[in-house]
Structure formats: C-alpha cells, structure tokens
Structure 1
Amino acid sequence: MSAVSGVNRMADDNHRKIETDGRAVNRTASRQTSDDGRFVARLLTGTSDPFFTLAEATNRNIFLGSRFLDAVQHHLLSAPDSLALVGVVDRAGEPIALFPFIRRRKFGVVVLEGLDLGITDYFAPAFFPAEPLSAKQTASLWRASVKAVPGIHAVSFKKTPRLLFGVPHALTGADFLKPMGASATTLSLRHPDGSSLDVDRVSVAREVRRKSKKLTQLGPVTFSEAKTNDEVDAAMETLVAFRRARFSDLGRRDAMLDPHIVSFYRSLADRNVENPPARLLTLRTGDRPVAIVYGFTCNDVFTLIAPAISDCKETQSGSPGLVAIYTTLRWCADEGYRVFDLSVGSLSYKSRFDAETFELFEYQEALSPLGLPVTVEAALRRRLRRLAVDRPTLHHHLERLARLGQRLGLSRD
C-alpha cells in the first residue's frame, strides 16, 4: 500500500469523526461571532482551535494545512499583520466552512485578505457538506465569515477556482466572483473509471525521451528525492542559486530569493517531521545537478511550486527543466498521487502535458469609504494583466511598474 492510500484512509476515518463530533465545534471557537441567519461564523484562536483540528482531518488543500499556516505565521507575518481563521457552522452546529484570512494594514487602513502573500496558489476555503451551496446560501455564508473579523474597511481575495481538484469549496456557488485574467493547470492521474493514467502516452513524453538522450551524453541521468536534512539543504541551496542566475539574466525579480521566503519553504521540507508537506527532487547528469523541483504534497495531490534549472549552456539542448517536470509527473504516478497540479500561470510548456486549464476568480469589496483604494487597485491589476496577455512586449514595462508599486505598498499581482 502506498503512502498516499494510507493517508486517504486516515482522512476517511477522520471525516467520520467530524460527522460525530461536529456539533461540538460551535462551542469551541473564540468569542468574536457573526450570525447571518443560516450560519454562525467565529474567529478562531488559531491552528490549535478544536474547530480547526476537526477541519484539518479531511483537508486536501495544502494551503489550509496547520504546518503551512504555522510556517506562514512564523516566517512571513509580523505585527500588525495577523492570521485570521474563521470557522462557520450552521444553525444546528454542524461545521460548514473554514476561511483562511490575513488581517493587515494596506493604504493606511485595516483590510481582510484571503491568504496569499505570494506563496498561496489558491484561495479555496474548506467546505464540509457533500453538496455545494446555492448562490444565495453562499452569499449568506460569505457575509457571516467577513463579519466575524472586526474593524476592517475592505475585503479581498484572488486565485479562486470554481472547483479545487474536482471538489467543491466554500465559494464554489458564489455568483459575485470576477474573472481575474489568470488560470491554473492540473492533470488528473486517474481516468473516470479509476484506472491510472499512462504517463508514457502524455503528449510531452516523446519529446522528453529525445531530450533525455541529449542529457545522457553528459553523464548518466538520475532523479532522486532529498530524504535527509543535509540533502534538503543542498537541494535548496542549488535551487536558490539556479533561480538567482536565471532571474538575473532575465532582469526580473524573483520573490523566492527573499530570505524570509527561502526560510519558509525550507521549513516545510524539514525531514525531522513525519510526512513533511514539501518535497525536493533533483535531476542530475553524472554528479552534477541540472534541475531542481520543489513541490507540495497533500494527501493525493502534488502541487508544483518552484522548478529551477542550471544556466550551464551545454545542458540547454537537453531541456533539463522539462525533463525534470515530466520525471516528477512519473514519480507522482509511481507514488500513487491522484492529481499532478501544474499550478497557477499559463506558461506554454503546461499545454504539452495534456492537462486541464481552468479560470481563476477574485473579489474585492470596500466596507467603508476608506476601503475604496483596495477596489481601485484591483481594477488596475485586472487591466494590466489583460494588457500583458494582449501585448506581450509590455511585460518588461509592467515588471517595472510592479517594482514601483511595491515601493508604494501595492500588491505585486
């Protein structure tokens, strides 16, 4: 039995526990409460709150896991910014949803943002019932969750799919979402009848075989996972070095080179804990690393986070990045994963994996006149993203605008 199937069985057992104990969570949250008729929302005390513990038992979203959220708090948040987890139950006390927010200052006022910080690929709040809510019910759920956090002037979130890996989330039924001009890509490793995908038949496989032969000319090609902390440290150092050289050549900024971000990602790959959420995989020719893949695992989903390739010119004809990503796909299939998530972005190589591309949505609302700059900024971002798609030559100028915006306290996205 694979590690993935074992985790899935534990999740099923824990789901039954939620059904048994769910009514108790109504009494375990913090005092800040919002009652919107159908739903009661509460601001939780953190990842140790009993509601969160129950919610995590069936969680299949890495960005809602306690290890991920604890690492965010430890490495990326500082006062006055803080994590704000909102748990929602129905009138009978049954758990309905969990919303991960950041309460932070922006434009001089306090705003509520869906957890992002440039390190979260999806805002897809946890949802516990089997069937998604109607648009009217979702609106009521949303109102209750926002009201549970006091003293805010605007609320916003982005990178929300309609379904997350084929499963509804708390905002699946929302009719107030706006297309954000961005997409994500996932590949199911299971056919509808439950049989496994033959990765040798994926369109890119033939090209990868040809490229691998070129790499073999430089030495035996191997692919391995970092399984000790020494190996993790070496892989992280190589990944950072590769990305620093790559983005320097491009004349672009890479957020992953921020020391706080590096520490955040390193902490999630710690091999001193059981089943760490992050994996580091290295493609080598001989003894020389030519590509690193950093990804997150959560139950039966692997999410590609940060690939990096060597800037060595003699390896370029072998496309080590493409070979490494395909080899990661094969590794996922062998390990029993259900989904290979190529994540956010529309880079051309993703289409060669025969994967599904889906639209992402966003939402912003000013809750007072002081929150209006949040909605204006969002409208400008959408316009700039459309320009970047329609006129690719504007990319360099948009990068410069993004850097200027950061100095002014605006979101890079």
Structure 2
Amino acid sequence: MSVAIATRPVPADTAVPAAASAGLTRVDILRDMAAAEPFWRALERGGAFKTPYQAFDFLALWQRHIGAGEGVAPFIVVGFDAAGAPLFLLPFGRRRGAAGLRVVEFLGGKHANFNMGLWRADFLGAVTAQDLDAVSAALRGHADVVVLGNQPLAWAGRDNPLALLPHQPSPSFGFSGPLSPDFEALFNDRTSAVGRRKMRKKERTLAEFGDVTFARATNEQDIRRVTEDFFTQKSARMRAIGLPDVFAAQDVRDFVTAGALTPADSSRLIELYTLSVDDTIVATMGGVCADGRFSAMFSSIVHGRFGTESPGEQLLVRVVRDCCERGLHTFDLGVGEASYKSLFCDADPMFDSYWPLSAKGQAFAAARRGFAAAKRAVKQNPVLWKVIVTARRIKARLMKADKAG
C-alpha cells in the first residue's frame, strides 16, 4: 500500500510508499487553524486520546495571542483513513531558527506542560513506526528538524504512540497522581500524621490573620483581579530566585487572561483558584480541566507575613479536595521537580524526540540532544542542582542590592 502525502492549501507533488498500518491512507499538512478545526473537533468529539493542552480552543488561543507574534505558523499534521476520517492530528507549528533553519515543534510553547498528538481511540493500539515514518516523509522538504519536548511516555494508562520512534529522557519528570471520591482517605494515605499536624497548625496560624477563604474565580471582575495578583506575585517570586518571568510579556498575560475568561463546558478554559485572608489573595493556582483530569499550569504565593504559613500548599490541598468532590480521577502538577509536588503526585517519565530531516537539521538535532542530556544530568543530580539554585538566588540578591544602591 502507499500513503498519499499533501500539504494544504498547496498540494505537494510527492507520494511516499510506506508499509503503514492498514488504516492510514493519507497524511496532510494544514497551514492554518481554521483548516484543521473540523478534523480537530471531530477527534475531540470522538473522545480522542490527548492531553488538555492539545485541545483546539487552548492552542487556538495560544496561537492568536503568543504563537503568531513569536513567528510560529501552524503546521498541523493530520492522518486519514480510507473514508477520509481523521485518525490522528499532530498540533505542530513551524518557525525559522538561526540561519533560516526550519524548526517544527508542538504548538503551545512553554505554556503546554505536556505535549502529545490527538489519536482516535480505535487507531491508538494499531499505530506502527511505519505510520510515523509517513509523518516524517510528509514533513521532509518542508522542515529541517522536528523538536518534540516534554512528551509523556503514557497518558491515562495508554502508551504514547510517538514513543515508537527514537527518543531520549526529558531533563525533568512530569508529576501526577490519582484522585479519590474520599478526599480524607487520599489525604491520609499521602501524608504522615506528623505532616498533617504541621499543616493544621499552619492553617490555624494563617486564620489568626483574618478570615481564610478558598474560591474559584467565575466572573470577569474576579478573574481580572486574580490574574493581576498572580502576575504581581509571580514577578516578585522570579526576581527573588533569579529566574526570568515567562509571564512578564503582555502577550502572555493576554493569553492567560483570555483563557480564564473563555467559557469551557461548565467552567472556564483556564480555571483560577485563590486562597485569601480577608481581602488579600495569598496564593493562586491556574489550570486546565478535561477528561476527568485537572492539570495545574501555574501558581503563586504572596511575599511577606503570610509566606511562612505555606499558603501555596494550603491552596493545593483545597484544590485537590475540590477536584475529588467534582468526581475527577487524576490531578497533575506539570513538568519539573519541586518538593511540594510529592504531596499528591508521583514522578512520571517524559521523553524528547529530535527528528532531523536535512543536513542542517542533523547538526541541530545532535546539538540539542547533547544539551538536553547534559541538562538532565544536572537536574537529576541533587548536589549539582542545589549549587545552581543557590547561585541563582545569590545573583538575584546581588542584582537587587545593586539596583538599590
């Protein structure tokens, strides 16, 4: 059999024979979100295997507010069966790198914690490496390298088909855990008696400052207030630890605010949660919810007198309780190591893929593989990582002192 390959709106002249699975007959590359939307929506309606970060509404919003401004153009790969129905969709974008290098990556950038395609349920178990070779063939001539980071090896108990091709471990792990209708049982299972006593003491101490309330922002006024407080808190935190603030740019702030204002099912595309003492928001958390899973995207805490009572951890406990009461089955805290994540989550292996499609791409892929492997070696070495974190904090303090002087 052969798999027909085309790009739209301009068809390519190449057709590449492949020993692909019997289901895959055509691979198209679509150059705009509108062209891909009907196939995307069809897969979503059919319960496609995907993460919340690959939802059409989420990535369309990201492309509108961030991607386009960063020079990313949609480059969406769709595989079809003989009846013309979509089997899978890979939400890629293409950008120009140094020396005109054409780089294909997942849409969503740093704001998509997990990256994966959308796979029709009845095709998921039948995907072969030859099917993915057909994808590579479709991209060849249109890109120099494909760089796919932060991919989960498994999702919702199913293997990720993109792991069929060569890959390497990501620098960091993802973190997720199962929920239970009985939050107290879950909480007792995940924590020690000593830990629970410490947490209750902090709850009591925080309550001494005023009335403590937990809330989900639902109206425009509250959403705008929460996002502004989040941006302020996050900026202060990033300065303190010597890291760049990825939420500082106006286009990113517009994306987060628009996502929090966009309706989705019975909630919002990006859900916002707060813990407040009287009228002061002391902690925030935002995330996306789909298919019975809540995925936290970001969080922040206020600096000052409330910080010693771990308001972020207190908010986390309340968000997880709320997720249990809503009947959700999984909670995740994204990618990247942090001590608080172990409260409700366990480490999940992640992988990165680098597909060179030209001589230029070969050199770039080799360099990126080496860099990512070195980054993983540092991040997974507690001694080395502690040195780097300490150096960042010292640098931040010196910069603050220099500005003050």
Q: Same fold (TM over 0.5)?
A: yes
Q: How far did residue 37 of structure 1 move?
A: 4.0
SS at match of 1:252: coil
Q: Which has the higher mean CA deviation after the structures are superposed, 71-80 or 245-254? A: 71-80
Q: Which AA in structure 1 matches 2:370?
A: A
Q: How far did residue 259 of structure 1 move?
A: 1.6
2:65 corresponds, among 72, 75, 88, to 75
In structure 2, the CA distance between the partners of 1:140 and 1:399, relative to structure 1 (3 Å rule), is farther
Residues 1:185 and 2:175 are matched in the alignment: yes
TM-score normalised to structure 1 length: 0.81
Matched-pair contact (CA < 8 Å) for 1:387–1:394:
no
Q: Which AA in structure 2 matches 1:395?
A: I
1:368-413 deviation digits (Å, cap 9, x = unpaired): 111122331231132023123321244259979xxxxxxxxxxxxx
1:54 corresponds, among 34, 39, 42, to 42
CA distance in 2, matches of 1:304, 1:249: 22
Matches within 5 A, 1:266-345: 266-270=257-261, 275-312=267-304, 314-345=305-336
In structure 2, the CA distance between the partners of 1:367 and 1:399, relative to structure 1 (3 Å rule), is farther
Match of 1:351 in 2: 342
CA distance in 2, matches of 1:234, 1:367: 47
Q: How far did residue 154 of structure 1 move?
A: 1.0
Residues 1:43 and 2:34 are matched in the alignment: no
Residues 1:143 and 2:136 are matched in the alignment: no
Q: Which AA in structure 2 matches 1:345?
A: G
SS at match of 1:257: coil
Identity among equivalent positions (%) equals: 22
Matches within 5 A, 1:149-168: 149=139, 150-168=141-159
How many pairs are equivalent?
366
Matches within 5 A, 1:11-410: 31=11, 36-38=18-20, 39=24, 40-44=26-30, 45-49=32-36, 50-57=38-45, 58-59=47-48, 61-78=51-68, 80-91=71-82, 93=84, 95-108=86-99, 109-130=101-122, 132-133=124-125, 137-149=127-139, 150-172=141-163, 174-190=164-180, 196=182, 198-204=185-191, 206=196, 207-270=198-261, 275-312=267-304, 314-353=305-344, 355-371=345-361, 372-390=363-381, 391-395=384-388
SS at match of 1:269: helix
1:257-301 deviation digits (Å, cap 9, x = unpaired): 222111111111115676421111110112211101111112311
Q: How far did residue 147 of structure 1 move?
A: 2.9
Question: Structure 1: which 5+ residue stretches go unaligned?
Answer: 1-25, 401-413
CA distance in 2, matches of 1:201, 1:381: 37
CA distance in 2, matches of 1:47, 1:329: 36
Matched-pair contact (CA < 8 Å) for 1:220–1:285:
yes
SS at match of 2:321: helix
CA distance in 2, matches of 1:47, 1:395: 44
1:48-88 deviation digits (Å, cap 9, x = unpaired): 53222211212452222121111122111237520111111
CA distance in 2, matches of 1:105, 1:62: 27
CA distance in 2, matches of 1:215, 1:338: 30
Q: Which AA in structure 1 matches 2:351?
A: F
1:209-243 deviation digits (Å, cap 9, x = unpaired): 23211111111211001111111000000001111
